[in-house]
């Protein structure tokens, strides 16, 4: 009989990051691994990618991959040098999840099912004898160099503690109590509210592959591209998510506005095209010319905003009116008044990366304490980057504990 005492590791949070840490730490049979989660393990994986689980992004050069993280870019260089896109694909293939790369480089399971990915990971947990407890952790304490994990019903003593509670769990509070600095948390990848209300009734309308210049206090800070979805309070969709990610920490107000400027025609030479169309169709209603470039409802709103009757024959349009239409369409402006809280996909902020060892994911403050996943001050754009962060930091954490 093996009388060697096992090393006990408690992982708070059974999301993608905690599960990866558990799987790799359990490669050493002398490790006893316990995941404590208040809900079913990997429940948070189910809604990802709209139920399809966009589990990574097809960028195989880790130095390029880090550029998709508004927070965590430098930290992830070392992490991704050890576990990145190709490793993710290989790992999932090994556990029976074949993947494919979509045209836009997002990576999905061939089954297009996040529950398939979850089930395969759950099988692995079972095979490795990783224990799970479904209880809410309320507190942790350090006692004689070990950790006490407290739930309502019990106190568990472990040698190593991994906090993997994501962006909205108890992790940041526990980390703070254990001496860590927390970068204030803000919603990222979320819908944006706009000052302009005249587009609210276009809710549901999408403009494909639109580029937007983003201006803060009248200075251009970034250009982002993606689909733009009008909502009943502003905008949403991939373009809005990207903008929100870059702007979540900006303190914008009336005197320092956050403004986006879009060429909604998506054509560089729109004025020339319009002049040509008018020349060819002088008897056509102007609305029926404009709506060949942008959706009818939006075209109507923009004409009315410029006090132009949509039924005006295009040949009768005054030069000044034509100029106004061109400006409204190519420099379509929206003033952002805030983010739509509660509906964010990820949270920016979290455990300060300065206090975490990149090579091990161990705390620089408390020995044998580890963090992985979204609990850290890391967040990526949409495209599979946030799950990649979980797989990679979870892997490093698990391998350190192995
Ligand atoms: C709708 C939606 C779609 C998404 N789609 C994608 C996508 O397609 N691709 C992508 O890359 N990213 C996607 N994301 C982001 C991605 O899901 C997260 O970044 C990722 O789940 C974070 O993983 P994590 O393990 O760090 O934390 P989480 O997945 O949040 O897991 C943390 C776990 O900790 C547990 N926990 C928290 N507090 C306690 C406590 N007190 N006691 C016990 N347990 C606790 C929670 O129950 C949870 O199970 C999406 C997010 C959302 C909301």
DSSP H or E run through 396:
helix 385-401
Domains and CATH numbers, the chain: 7-187+347-401 (3.50.50.60), 190-263+333-339 (2.40.30), 270-330 (1.10.8)
pLDDT recorded at residue 79? 98
Find the 382 Cα to ligand 1 centroid distance in Å.
14
Q: For ligand 1, pick from 10, 23, 37, 102 the residue to mutate: most ligand atoms within 8 Å of CB.
A: 37
| % of the chain at pLDDT higher than 70 | 99
pLDDT recorded at residue 195? 94
Cα–Cα separations (whole angstroms), residue 203 to 198, 239, 252: 11, 15, 25
Residue nearest to atom 13 of ligand 1 (CA): 48
| Ligand 1 contact, 238 CB (< 6 A) | no
Mean pLDDT of 342-356: 93
| Ligand 1 contact, 386 CB (< 6 A) | yes
| Ligand 1 contact, 376 CB (< 6 A) | no
Q: For ligand 1, pick from 46, 48, 76, 108 the residue to mutate: most ligand atoms within 8 Å of CB.
A: 48
Q: What are the phi and psi torsion angles at 150 (to 5°)?
A: -110, 130
Give Rg (Cα) of the chain: 25
Q: What confidence tier does 355 reach under pLDDT thresholds 50, 70, 90? A: very high
pLDDT recorded at residue 121? 98
> In ligand 1, which atom is closest to the CA atom of 13?
34
pLDDT recorded at residue 344? 85
Mean pLDDT of 312-336: 96
> In ligand 1, which atom is closest to the CA atom of 344?
53
CA-nearest of 400, 373, 361, 398 to 91 is: 398
Report pTM: 0.93
Q: What confidence tier does 1 reach under pLDDT thresholds 50, 70, 90? A: very low
pLDDT recorded at residue 3? 56
In contact, 236 and 191? CB cutoff 8 Å: yes
H runs (alpha helix) in 149-209: 171-177
* Tokens coding 335: 């003033």
Mean pLDDT of 77-86: 98
Is 163 in a helix, a strand, or coil? strand
Mean pLDDT of 118-133: 97
Q: pLDDT tens, 142-186?
A: 999 999 999 999 999 999 999 999 999 999 999 999 999 999 999
| Ligand 1 contact, 179 CB (< 6 A) | no
Name the more confident of 256 and 327.
327
Q: pLDDT tens, 279-318?
A: 999 999 999 999 999 999 999 999 999 999 999 999 999 9
pLDDT recorded at residue 254? 82
pLDDT recorded at residue 69? 97
Q: How far separated are the first and last CA of the chain, in Å rounded?
A: 22
Residue nearest to atom 44 of ligand 1 (CA): 37
* Tokens coding 391: 């797989």
| Ligand 1 contact, 12 CB (< 6 A) | yes
H runs (alpha helix) in 113-250: 114-127, 171-177, 237-247
Find the 272 Cα to ligand 1 centroid distance in Å.
49
Find the 48 Cα to ligand 1 centroid distance in Å.
9
Sign of torsion, CA 151 154 155 161?
Answer: negative
| Ligand 1 contact, 248 CB (< 6 A) | no
Q: pLDDT tens, 357-389?
A: 999 999 999 999 999 999 999 999 999 999 999
Please determine, for residue 30, whether its predicted confidence score (pLDDT) is greater than 60. yes
Please determine, for residue 2, whether its predicted confidence score (pLDDT) is greater than 70. no
- Report residue 9 CA to chain centroid gap: 29
Find the 377 Cα to ligand 1 centroid distance in Å.
14
What gap in Å lies between CA 386 and CA 383, rounded to an integer? 8
Mean pLDDT of 69-77: 97
CB-facing half-sphere around the CA of 63: CA atoms within 13 A: 0
pLDDT recorded at residue 343? 78
| Ligand 1 contact, 369 CB (< 6 A) | no
Find the 166 Cα to ligand 1 centroid distance in Å.
5
Strand arrangement, sheet containing 56-57:
56-57, 106-109, 99-101
Report the helix count and the strand count for the chain, using DSSP H and E.
12, 19
């Amino acid at each position: 009989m093996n009388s060697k005492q096992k090393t006990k590791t408690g992982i708070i949070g059974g999301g993608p990051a905690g599960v990866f840490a558990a799987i790799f730490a359990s490669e050493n049979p002398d490790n006893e691994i316990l995941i404590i989660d208040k809900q079913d393990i990997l429940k948070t994986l189910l809604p990802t990618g709209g139920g399809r689980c966009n589990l990574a992004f097809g960028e195989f050069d880790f130095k390029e991959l880090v550029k998709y993280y508004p927070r965590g870019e430098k930290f992830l260089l070392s992490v991704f040098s050890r576990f990145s896109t190709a490793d993710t694909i290989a790992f999932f293939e090994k556990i029976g999840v074949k993947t494919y790369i979509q045209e836009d480089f997002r990576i999905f399971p061939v089954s297009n099912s996040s529950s398939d990915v979850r089930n395969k990971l759950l099988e692995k947990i079972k095979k490795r004898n990783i224990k799970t407890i479904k209880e809410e952790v309320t507190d942790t304490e350090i006692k004689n160099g070990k950790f006490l994990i407290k739930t309502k019903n019990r106190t568990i003593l472990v040698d190593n503690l991994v906090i993997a509670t994501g962006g909205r769990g108890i992790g940041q509070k526990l980390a703070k109590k254990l001496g860590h600095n927390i970068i204030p948390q803000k919603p990222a990848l979320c819908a944006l509210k706009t000052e302009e209300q005249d587009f609210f009734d276009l809710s549901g309308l999408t403009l494909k592959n639109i580029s937007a210049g983003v201006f803060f206090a009248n200075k251009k800070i970034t250009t982002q591209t993606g689909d733009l979805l009008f909502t009943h309070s502003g905008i949403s969709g991939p373009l809005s998510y990207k903008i929100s990610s870059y702007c979540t920490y900006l303190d914008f107000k009336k005197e320092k506005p956050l403004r986006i400027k879009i060429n909604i025609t998506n054509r560089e030479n729109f004025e020339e095209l319009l002049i040509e169309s008018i020349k060819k169709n002088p008897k056509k209603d102007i609305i029926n010319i404009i709506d060949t470039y942008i959706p009818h409802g939006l075209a109507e709103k923009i004409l009315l905003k410029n006090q132009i009757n949509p039924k005006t024959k295009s040949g009768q349009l005054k030069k000044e009116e034509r100029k106004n239409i061109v400006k409204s369409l190519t420099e379509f402006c929206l003033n952002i008044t805030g983010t739509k809280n509660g509906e964010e996909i990820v949270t920016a902020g979290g455990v300060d990366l300065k206090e975490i060892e990149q090579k091990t994911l161990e705390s620089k403050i408390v020995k044998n304490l580890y963090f992985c996943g979204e609990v850290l001050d890391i967040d990526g754009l949409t495209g599979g980057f946030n799950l990649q962060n979980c797989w990679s930091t979870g892997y490093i954490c698990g391998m350190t504990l192995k």
